[in-house]
Structure 1
């Protein structure tokens, strides 16, 4: 068989040669099978019978070495997979990651062991069936969910989408992975907004462009306030220009209903993304909003481009949707409602393609004027 002596000879050698001979035969047989490429069904059947005899009687080191060699084979039956998994020892994770195929039976056995590192490796594979995925999503493990969030072969739909969105609220690494995906609605990352990078925060805001949202609970708070947007922008611009951010924190806490810790994060967010949410929720226009952002942000050489991006967002993102985003920060909404047809974006814009800039002469003039103010202040 496989270039060796007849199968009966192997049986005789096993029975009369002792452990040392068995160790040698096991490694040689596994090496021959691996080099064979794709075996015929009779060869597969004979090798299964041979390996099933050799592995239990060989020494632990030989079993681990033989399993590591066998794990590199082009084709493994479920029986041979089981022998590899049971005997490979510390190289198990490498096998689970590099194996050409992995049967559902083997994957489910790994998951049933509660071996979190091994299950997380399984979760990175691109050939997972729905049966295996369902079991993986049932595991209460951050490592597993981080692997699932980064696995672009998994389509985030239905129950999988809900599970990933909930996990993102509790684990910033899951949120970061999902923010990089083109097939995940970044609006669902609103609760993790302050855990995301600068660019990903803007990506979350862009996900609310050109779409309706359910009525936000915080809208009632905003409606009851007597603060006019002009008065708000005037007060904020003065406080930011004098770098009085603790007072900005108190002001935001008074007018938004958000807790003081969150308002402190907003007041000290020099990217301007979270402050944009507040300004737009209060109905600020691009002209008034940019007056505040020019003093609150720190963009250095990217200042003009950042202002242009925010100007575009003022034109494409509705105040109601930013009020909804604020309510998400307070945990008052079920973001999965955004999956309903009536709340989908009006135009399905690719996340790789930036929204068209708002060519508003007034806005363009505001950007130029405010940029000059910023340069004079810097000087």
Structure 2
């Protein structure tokens, strides 16, 4: 068979040769099958019968070696896949990752026995059926969810979208993977905002641009304080210019209802993204908001560009949307409501217009920079 002696000769050698002969035969047969390339149906059937006799009676090392060799074959039937999975030992994940094709039956067998490393390897494959996906999403494993979040072959919608969004709230690595995906609504990462990188935080804010949101529970509180909007921005600007960030923390805690730890993160965030959310939620205009941000942030290399980005967001993101984002930080809203049609963004960025051109020559930015230059800016370190 397959360049070796006839099948009957193999059977005779198995029965009379002892375990050493069996080990040799197993490795030789697996090697022959792998070298054969794409075996015909009769050849595969014949080899299945032979392998099913050899594997149970071979020694542990021969089983592992034979399975590793067989795992490199171009085509494996479900029965042969099962023999590989059962006998390959420590190289199982290498096989699961490298196999050109895996049967649904083999994938389900790995998942059903709650083999977390194996399931995580399967979760990264591009050829997952809906049945396998459903089983993977039912696993309570960070490793599996991290693999699912990074797998761009999985479309995040329906129950899968909900599961990934919930997982992002508990695992920053899932949140980071989802933030890098263009097919995932970054607004759903609001609860993980403070676990994300500076760039990804801006993506979350930008996901609320040109978008209606449900009424935020914190909105009534904000409405009661907006009458003192000018005093608020003036107080923040003074505190930041004098680098009195602990006092900023206390002030933010009083007006937002967020805990002091979170407010401390906002007060010490030199990128300004979290502070922007607060300022815009309380109705600050671009002009007043930029005056606060320029004192609170550190933009030594490219200050004007960073300000231009914030100015653009002041124009594109509504106070109600940022109030909703604040409520998400407080755990008061169900973010999955944003998946409803009425809350989808109603404008799309044109691919033909580079986003870098949008803030160019923004008069609000230029006026703010000129005014601040006149009064002399003392930036916080």
Match of 2:43 in 1: 43
Aligned-partner Cα distance in 2 for 1:205–1:226: 21
Count of aligned positions: 379
What TM-score do the two structures reach when normalised by structure 1? 0.96
Q: Does 1:367 align with 2:369?
A: yes
Q: Any gaps of 5 or more consecutive residues in structure 1?
A: none
Match of 1:83 in 2: 83
Q: How much does 1:46 deviate?
A: 0.3
Asked whether the equivalents of residues 150 and 177 of structure 1 are also in contact (C-alpha less than 8 Å), the reply is yes
SS in 2 for 1:300: coil
Asked whether the equivalents of residues 294 and 374 of structure 1 are also in contact (C-alpha less than 8 Å), the reply is no
Match of 1:106 in 2: 106
Structure 2 matches for 1:244-323, cutoff 5 A?
244-323=244-323
Aligned-partner Cα distance in 1 for 2:104–2:295: 57
Can you list the C-alpha shifts for 1:134-158, whole angstroms capped at 9, x where unaligned?
Answer: 0000000111101100111100000
Match of 1:195 in 2: 195
**Structure 1 residues 226, 303: closer, same or farther in 2, change over 3 A?**
closer
Asked whether the equivalents of residues 165 and 188 of structure 1 are also in contact (C-alpha less than 8 Å), the reply is yes
Can you list the C-alpha shifts for 1:78-108, whole angstroms capped at 9, x where unaligned?
Answer: 0000000000000001001101111111111
Match of 2:341 in 1: 341
Structure 2 matches for 1:316-331, cutoff 5 A?
316-331=316-331
Q: CA RMSD in A?
A: 1.8
Aligned-partner Cα distance in 2 for 1:78–1:165: 34
Match of 1:354 in 2: 355
Can you list the C-alpha shifts for 1:234-278, whole angstroms capped at 9, x where unaligned?
Answer: 110000000000100111111111111111111011100000000
Structure 1 window deviating more from structure 2 (343-352 vs 259-268): it is: 343-352
Match of 1:115 in 2: 115
Structure 2 matches for 1:137-176, cutoff 5 A?
137-176=137-176
Match of 2:181 in 1: 181
SS in 2 for 1:301: coil
Aligned-partner Cα distance in 2 for 1:373–1:94: 64
SS in 2 for 1:97: helix
Q: How much does 1:224 deviate?
A: 2.0
Can you list the C-alpha shifts for 1:324-368, whole angstroms capped at 9, x where unaligned?
Answer: 000000000000000111100012337996383275423322134
Asked whether the equivalents of residues 31 and 69 of structure 1 are also in contact (C-alpha less than 8 Å), the reply is yes
Q: Any gaps of 5 or more consecutive residues in structure 2?
A: none
Match of 1:92 in 2: 92
Q: How much does 1:369 deviate?
A: 4.0
SS in 1 for 2:301: helix
Asked whether the equivalents of residues 298 and 380 of structure 2 are also in contact (C-alpha less than 8 Å), the reply is no
Can you list the C-alpha shifts for 1:112-131, whole angstroms capped at 9, x where unaligned?
Answer: 11111111111111100000
**4+ long deviations beyond 4 Å:** 350-353, 371-379
